[in-house]
A and B are shown apart, each in its own frame.
Chain A
Amino acid sequence: MTFTFVRRFALAAVLLAAVAALSLAVGARPLGPPEVWRGLTDPGTDAYTVVHQMRLPRTLLGLVVGAALGLAGALMQSLTRNPLGDPGLLGINVGAAAAVVTGISFLGVTSFAGYVWLAFAGAGVVAVLLYGIGGGRGATPARLALAGAAVNAALYAYVSAVELLDTASLDRMRFWTVGSLAAAQTSTVQKVTPFVLVGVVLALALARPLNALAMGDDTARALGARPALVRGAGIVAVTLLCGAATAACGPIVFLGLMVPHLVRAVVGPDLRLLLPYSALAAPVLMLVADVLGRVVARPSEVQVGVLTVVLGGPFFLYFVRRRKAAAL
């Protein structure tokens, strides 16, 4: 047990480091491994500018946002007891986006600090709303997916209405609403990281009580967990993670759906393992998608949000098809 744990953890860490290095090396000006190293350490070279100005913030943001979304997905699936609980699919990310768009257009918010709080508000409202409409833990996957589709559609209509009334913001927002890491800056990374950290700590602390909750409320109570408190804290954690991720790089769908399923296939359903591994595996996928996006459509780029959809959508369809309707 401990041996496999160490091995798997080391494997995940090595994979993450490799993908991060790849993300530093690949781009409009490809860098070899020695150049990447010089770029990280030697301030005199061209490579230093490329790495520090462009690729390092982008990679770090990818790591932070990926971890946040993977963890949020795993939490959401556990909270709703629903295999399709993805914050993007359920409209939580669009809720954050709608709040940010409102801020940009009507309240004249321009700073990232402003975005973040608006995104939290939007994500929180939608999370609570969904929990209510979906029927809480009694919801079937189809109900929850539909409630998400409804919220998505209504908020999407609102976002496009705002964009239409204000062409100047459309030009900025059409890139942001796809979900992209291209505009990452060091300051964004610095501002988003504390919120994600709080979310991560809260989520990991919930692993044990959520495990108890998976056996039903009565058993959980007997085991000393307080269901209402745990669920409330879980929603706060999801809101923090999704709100921060969305404020930083726009709504990204399917990452939070895919990663926990892939991880669960390897480590099993125990949340004490599932949550940390999801947080490690999701940034790997996020960075791979981002690196692919830089390569596939040279000389231009495909946004990472598009690639997570293109990679994650078929996964979702496969998942739906493989299971019998009754099992869902």
Chain B
Amino acid sequence: MNPIRTRADSPWGRGVGLRVGGLSWRVSPRALVVAVVFAVVAVVVSVVSIGGGDYPMSFGEVVRALAGRGDASTDFIVNQLRLPRAVTALAVGAALGLAGALFQSLSRNPLGSPDLLGFTQGSATGVLVATVLAGGSGLGLAVGAVTGGVLTGVLIVLLVGRNGAHGQRLVLVGVGVAAILTGVNGYLLTKAQITDAARAVLWLTGSLDGRDWKQATPVLVMLAIAVAVTASCGRALRTIELGDEGARALGVPVDRVRGALLAVAVLLASLAAAAAGPVSFVALTAPQLARRLTRSSGPNALPAACLGAALLAAADLAGQRLVPGHQLPVGVVTGLLGGGYLIWLLTTERKAGRL
């Protein structure tokens, strides 16, 4: 047997201490580089995406307009019409990436993402109930999505029980709940008026069409809260990944930390769903890709969030350009790509004997 040498042996992978006054963090340069690179990619893709459309603009024009130096018409198109959509895409992508990272870390399961566990379907049920009962106004949809997501979260936690939060049972319960809710959603869809149904199907696939600041703001606020909570709990979370008993012995208030992070993750996923619909698979793929790129354990929250934003912005751009004459909703693109990715993940995990 050869001795195993990992990247974690070098300070590049393992991280370096950072000290400011009485506070200190451990920062992994590699994770930081990954996060920054994908943040830049996300912004560049968004600028390209803003430049496309019925009135095409060059990269430079868009940047000038964003800086407030464009002429009146480009300024209006960029800042009033297209910027909200781009920002919503970035915020939703980051929220999903972060929520996925938290779920996967808390459930100690690479497949513990809100779309496989049924949270997104729960949000969809809430939205459909709002659509059928109230005709689906903007606020009703958001309230419905959050209520549905949170109730599903409570239901799953109750069904799984205290000691089964990790392992296969969580995934199986999630798959079951997701299947039931999919059936219920289909029924609600047949109860709606055809115009409402068409809008609901569009929402159900996940779309960024015609989003304005009203949709983006709640996600952005929640994202800020979530980043703060995650940053303050990051160390505790990494300890919990080692096992509850060990973490308790090291002085981590396991239940409190887990409860707080779970609440944050559910709210993030639900608000993202309220803004853009249940965009599938971003929450599953972003943390997995982040983990592979940073080559470090732990939740990889920041890289996952940046990767999620980049993924969603790129998927939205692809949806706009892929079929000429049609705009594919972003959820279709992520669904097709993410489904393929999950199949690949299952195949490689099997070969590696991990699942």
A306 lies within 8 A of chain B by Cβ: yes
> Quick one: which of B164, B186, B338 contacts A306, CB cutoff 8 A?
B186
B331: chain A residues within 8 A (beta carbon): 157, 160
| Contact indicator A145/B175 (Cβ below 8 Å) | yes
Q: How far is the CB of A155 from chain B (nearest CB, A)?
A: 8
Residue in B closest to A317 when the chains form the complex, CB atoms: B176
A164 lies within 8 A of chain B by Cβ: yes
Interface size for chain A: under 10, 10 to 19, 20 to 34, or 35 or more residues? 35 or more
Task: A328 to B168: give the CA distance in the assembly, Å.
Answer: 9
> Quick one: which of B182, B201, B334, B355 contacts A143, CB cutoff 8 A?
B355
A195: chain B residues within 8 A (beta carbon): none
| Contact indicator B169/A157 (Cβ below 8 Å) | no
> Quick one: which of A155, A164, A175 contacts B201, CB cutoff 8 A?
A164
Task: A279 to B43: give the CA distance in the assembly, Å.
Answer: 57
Task: A309 to B168: give the CA distance in the assembly, Å.
Answer: 22
| Contact indicator B332/A157 (Cβ below 8 Å) | yes
| Contact indicator A146/B350 (Cβ below 8 Å) | no
| Contact indicator A160/B159 (Cβ below 8 Å) | no
Residue in A closest to B319 when the chains form the complex, CB atoms: A161
> Quick one: which of A135, A149, A155, A179 contacts B350, CB cutoff 8 A?
A135
B146: chain A residues within 8 A (beta carbon): none
- Segment from A47-55, A166-174, A184-192, A229-237 that makes contact with B: A166-174
Known: A133-B343, A154-B339. A161 touches B205 (CB 8 A): yes
Residue in A closest to B178 when the chains form the complex, CB atoms: A149
Residue in B closest to A302 when the chains form the complex, CB atoms: B187
Residue in B closest to A161 when the chains form the complex, CB atoms: B332
Q: How far is the CB of B261 from chain A (nearest CB, A)?
A: 23
Q: How far is the CB of A300 from chain B (nearest CB, A)?
A: 8
Q: How far is the CB of A170 from chain B (nearest CB, A)?
A: 6
Task: A156 to B332: give the CA distance in the assembly, Å.
Answer: 9
| Contact indicator A147/B346 (Cβ below 8 Å) | yes
A267: chain B residues within 8 A (beta carbon): none
A154: chain B residues within 8 A (beta carbon): 335-336, 338-340, 342-343
B197 lies within 8 A of chain A by Cβ: yes
A325: chain B residues within 8 A (beta carbon): 164, 167-169
A302: chain B residues within 8 A (beta carbon): 187
Task: A142 to B201: give the CA distance in the assembly, Å.
Answer: 29
Q: How far is the CB of A99 from chain B (nearest CB, A)?
A: 16
A174: chain B residues within 8 A (beta carbon): 186, 189-190, 197, 201
Task: A170 to B204: give the CA distance in the assembly, Å.
Answer: 14
| Contact indicator A321/B173 (Cβ below 8 Å) | yes
| Contact indicator B186/A161 (Cβ below 8 Å) | no
Residue in B closest to A308 when the chains form the complex, CB atoms: B183
The interface residues of chain B, by DSSP majority, are classed as: helix
B180: chain A residues within 8 A (beta carbon): 309-310, 313-314
Known: A317-B159, A325-B167. A160 touches B204 (CB 8 A): yes
B332: chain A residues within 8 A (beta carbon): 157-158, 160-161, 164
| Contact indicator A170/B184 (Cβ below 8 Å) | no
| Contact indicator A320/B335 (Cβ below 8 Å) | no
Within residues 213 to 233 of chain A, which ones have a CB less than 8 A from any CB in chain B?
A: none
| Contact indicator B342/A306 (Cβ below 8 Å) | no
Give the total of B residues in contact with A, Cβ under 8 Å. Answer: 51
A153 lies within 8 A of chain B by Cβ: yes
B202: chain A residues within 8 A (beta carbon): 164
A15: chain B residues within 8 A (beta carbon): none
Task: A325 to B165: give the CA distance in the assembly, Å.
Answer: 11
B77 lies within 8 A of chain A by Cβ: no
> Quick one: which of B116, B183, B343 contacts A253, CB cutoff 8 A?
B183
Task: A321 to B197: give the CA distance in the assembly, Å.
Answer: 35
Task: A135 to B355: give the CA distance in the assembly, Å.
Answer: 11
Chain B, residues 43-56, CB within 8 Å of chain A (1/0): the string is 00000000000000
Task: A149 to B350: give the CA distance in the assembly, Å.
Answer: 16
Task: A143 to B351: give the CA distance in the assembly, Å.
Answer: 12
A84 lies within 8 A of chain B by Cβ: yes
A145: chain B residues within 8 A (beta carbon): 171-172, 175
Task: A154 to B331: give the CA distance in the assembly, Å.
Answer: 10
A118 lies within 8 A of chain B by Cβ: no
Known: A157-B336, A158-B335, A313-B183. A146 touches B205 (CB 8 A): no
B175: chain A residues within 8 A (beta carbon): 89, 145-146, 148-149
Residue in A closest to B192 when the chains form the complex, CB atoms: A174
Residue in B closest to A323 when the chains form the complex, CB atoms: B169
19 CB-based A-B contacts, threshold 8 Å:
A84-B172, A133-B347, A141-B168, A142-B168, A143-B355, A145-B175, A147-B346, A155-B339, A157-B280, A157-B334, A157-B339, A161-B329, A164-B201, A164-B205, A165-B326, A178-B187, A305-B183, A314-B180, A317-B176
Please name the 5 residue pairs, one residue from A and one from B, whose CB atoms are nearest each other, closest first: A154-B339, A157-B335, A309-B183, A313-B180, A150-B342
Chain B: residues with CB nearer than 8 A to chain A?
111, 115-116, 159, 161, 164, 167-169, 171-173, 175-180, 182-184, 186-187, 189-190, 194, 197-198, 201-202, 204-205, 280-281, 326, 328-329, 331-332, 334-336, 338-340, 342-343, 346-347, 350, 355
List 13 additional contacts besides A140-B355, A147-B343, A154-B335; criterion CB under 8 Å. A134-B346, A146-B111, A146-B116, A150-B339, A161-B205, A170-B197, A170-B198, A177-B186, A309-B183, A309-B184, A310-B183, A321-B159, A325-B164
